[in-house]
Chain A
């Protein structure tokens, strides 16, 4: 039998019950919190990855169009030979992303003139200028974000300014020679 003093110092059945009870209450409260956090995440209708098909035939060389995909603008530019050449002349070690940022890796083989990009500045989410004929295209002939001054080149890569990443290339494929499916 335990002495009287031990009854107070050693963990007994009551301590175990208190600890276990509190632990259950804490885990229960935390599990209840999760639905309140999770309800704010994108819902099923937002997640449904709608894919968009776009006919590129009317877009002439040097022109660009903007389409909407998942609520985001997507830039599609039919680049001129000069634009492609200037994008390929850049030394890759000067670019964030290294070899992945090579122009060849940002377009589909056989369709090198078509550049497809999520048209959202990777700095703070503005839509860069450069899609319309009269727009400022920045120092590198691609796009220029008016919000905080990021310059993108003709491959959509960040060359000057605060943006941390190149413009993203969305998942897409050529369905026919003049039609793409984004998503």
Chain B
């Protein structure tokens, strides 16, 4: 917390020497050892640590892969097979990195839904939340660029479709969108030139991501952690030191997560990918059914929901622009959530109406994910349009309106009371 002063005492002369010159041990001790943590955190709060692990794991395995990968349209596809078959432990590095991307997104989606459920975006955590939205955008950009690198059919056509999104700007100013797309490609179509620059940026962005993550943690440690009650820490008995209490819980959560991670990496390394990406990129043939990786499916469904008309409203030549705006808007709307939610109560535990809408929203996201994996015709388009509408209604109508009309349940007086109940137990805990 902002008022937290580390109790760090350097024990050795070496420690004192450093503490007077660069108090980094004091900073670490204050941030991760004696930092006051709400005593009632549940396992959903272990995902922050899991995400830090995922980022480090992706960077380490990625650096190794870059030592063996060749970012050229001629050699890229074969160099991936070379890594998987010939490089010592290359199969392991490649599987950890490819599966790691999916695990990273599983963890980040749990983390985001936890934040939405417990109102972790509300004052004074707005900046913390917005930094999180920036992290999500950077993660998506990095994952997208990385998916290009194997140079298979899905890589090639995924890049073609997604970079072409910018050509929608031609509707606003003729030539603007095409100019941007050709600038991104470095040519008149996706080519080896594109692959080369995407490799460069794929290597860069994780370090930008790390920088924003440090700001995210800084903002977290300034505002303090939220908790399942949504109440602030008001007294010493509301919190425990981060180490060993929160750290040991974090480790249990992380091991559970790592079991799933290892299961995929060792036994189902290609399960989350697409078979078409084992066909080398061919600029003359589009695969019959293009789908992005699973973690982009809900957004892809929103993009495709805007066909010639949307729920009966004709869109004409603006269909493409609206689809693109809706897709980016579906992520950007998250940045406004701190002000869209008008309720004074943080946690959905005490919000009887909002709680149901939260679960309806979670279902909407899963439904959009399913529809994103289906072909864009017939009844799928209609359902994608309905769920796209529901997605935006949740943020733009349900959030502001429910906050005003809902009567929240009675809040406990403190975190301690919520954990131990009222009466003597509290008094004992305080001593």
Contacts and interface: CB of A to CB of B under 8 A. Distances in A.
Interface of A: 37, 40-43, 46, 66, 68, 70-73, 96, 123-127, 129, 146-149, 160-165
Interface centre among A37, A42, A43, A96 (most CB of B within 10 A): A42
Interface string B280-302: 00011110111000000000000
B189 A72 contact: yes
Classify the interface of chain A: helix, strand, loop or mixed.
loop
Interface in B313-368: 316-321, 323
A125 B164 contact: yes
Nearest to B320: A164
Contacts of A163: 320
Contact of A71 (B170, B191, B320): B191
B290 A147 contact: yes
A147 B320 contact: no
A46 B183 contact: no
B279 interface: no
A139 to B, nearest CB: 11
B306 interface: yes
14 contacts: A40-B186, A40-B197, A42-B185, A66-B284, A68-B284, A70-B189, A123-B164, A124-B167, A124-B320, A125-B161, A148-B304, A149-B375, A164-B320, A164-B321
Given A126-B160, A146-B289, A161 B188 contact: no
Interface of B: 157, 160-165, 167-168, 170-171, 182-189, 191, 193, 197, 283-286, 288-290, 304, 306-308, 316-321, 323, 375-377, 381
A162 B182 contact: no
A146 B286 contact: yes
Given A70-B189, A123-B320, A161 B183 contact: no
Given A70-B188, A125-B167, A162-B319, 4 more contacts: A72-B188, A146-B290, A148-B307, A164-B168
Contacts of B183: 37, 40-41
Contacts of B308: 160-162
B187 A162 contact: no
Contacts of A125: 160-161, 163-164, 167
Contacts of A46: 186-188, 191, 193
Given A40-B197, A43-B186, A127 B319 contact: no
B188 A42 contact: yes
Contacts of B289: 146
B186 A126 contact: no
Contact of B317 (A70, A129, A146, A165): A165
A34 to B, nearest CB: 13
Given A123-B320, A125-B164, A149 B283 contact: no
Contact of A126 (B157, B167, B193, B377): B157
Given A126-B160, A147-B376, A162-B308, A41 B186 contact: yes
